[in-house]
Amino acid sequence: MLVSAKEMLTKAKAGHYAVGQFNINNLEWTKAVLTTAEELKSPVILGVSEGAGKYMCGFKTVADMVKAMIESLGITVPVALHLDHGTYEGCLKCIEAGFSSIMFDGSHYPIEENVAKTTELIKITREKGMSIEAEVGSIGGEEDGVIGMGECADPDECKMIADLGVTMLAAGIGNIHGKYPENWPGLSFETLDAIRQKTGAMPLVLHGGTGIPADMIKKAISLGVSKINVNTECQISFAEATRKYIEEGKDLVGKGFDPRKLLAPGTEAIKATVKEKMELFGSVGKA
Ligand code: 13P
């Protein structure tokens, strides 16, 4: 069922667990995430960056593929199709293409401009029954060529954006996209707690879910994080399993070069990573 992320995140916040957002890149990725969510009876959010959308031939191709797959695989758990780190124009394109959720990343704008653009998009998403995520304080690391410095968000600015009526709020608390460096100081729970106190019932989003230790994830959830984004970890799992298949020469045996065989270990590896995260986030059985 393709739905907005609102209800699943409201339930997650009340139930003290988090819903995973897993970024998708192609058919195998989408199938792996959807089937795992169904097997575990977990709600799920499929994240699509603007780069991944372009790679998959545009947002309409993605939306149509996801809707068709939900139907043909008999997926009954709630699924949100969500634009990840969208530009204003990208958000409009996803609304048009049939996504059920968007993220407008106005974190690099002055706060007044972030407020103005977020307000306009809230109006449109409300009319369409879609959910919208906003961001305050850029997330560290590199994603699709955008490099953030990993700053901690200002809790007052978070309140300002939350009060506009977004569905969920991403706030920088020292998290970074991609692998964490050896000398990473960890998440700033002090910042997270201050943001939680200012934003009340607002479901908070933790980006950069790859490589955050389990105890930090659990603490973040206890402090109001209801959505956790994972991208790089599935990419690494896929690459490692594919490398192993080829290094073991399995593509050279019989019809081992058949793409359906060649891509199968990577797809299974994505499923295993998604399962591990859903168990850690506590969303299993919550659909
Ligand atoms: P990772 O690639 O670090 O898992 O982060 C994903 C993310 O936050 C997508 O917005």
Calculate how far, in angstroms, residue 85's C-alpha sits from the geometric centre of ligand 1.
Answer: 10
What is the Cβ-side half-sphere exposure of residue 278, based on CA atoms within 13 angstroms? Answer: 25
Q: Residues in the chain, how many?
A: 287
Residue 143 has pLDDT above 90, yes or no: no
pLDDT digits (tens, 9 = 90+) for 233-282: 999 999 999 999 999 999 999 999 999 999 999 999 999 999 999 999 99
Domains and CATH numbers, the chain: 6-232+273-281 (3.20.20.70)
Please give all residues whose beta carbon lies within 6 A of any atom in ligand 1, as ranges: 23, 47, 84-85, 177-178, 207-210, 229-233
Q: Is the pTM of this model over 0.85?
A: yes
What CA–CA distance (Å, rounded) separates 167 from 128?
13
CA of residue 175 to ligand 1 center, whole Å: 9
Q: At what angle do helices 214-222 and 264-281 cross, to 10 degrees?
A: 50
CA of 287 to the centre of ligand 1 (A): 23
Confidence class for position 107, pLDDT limits 50, 70, 90: confident
Q: Is 251 a catalytic residue?
A: no
Q: What is the pLDDT of residues 202-229, one digit of tens each?
A: 999 999 999 999 999 999 999 999 999 9
> Probe ligand 1: pick from 19, 21, 23, max atoms within 8 Å of CB?
23
Residue 106 tokens read as 């106005």
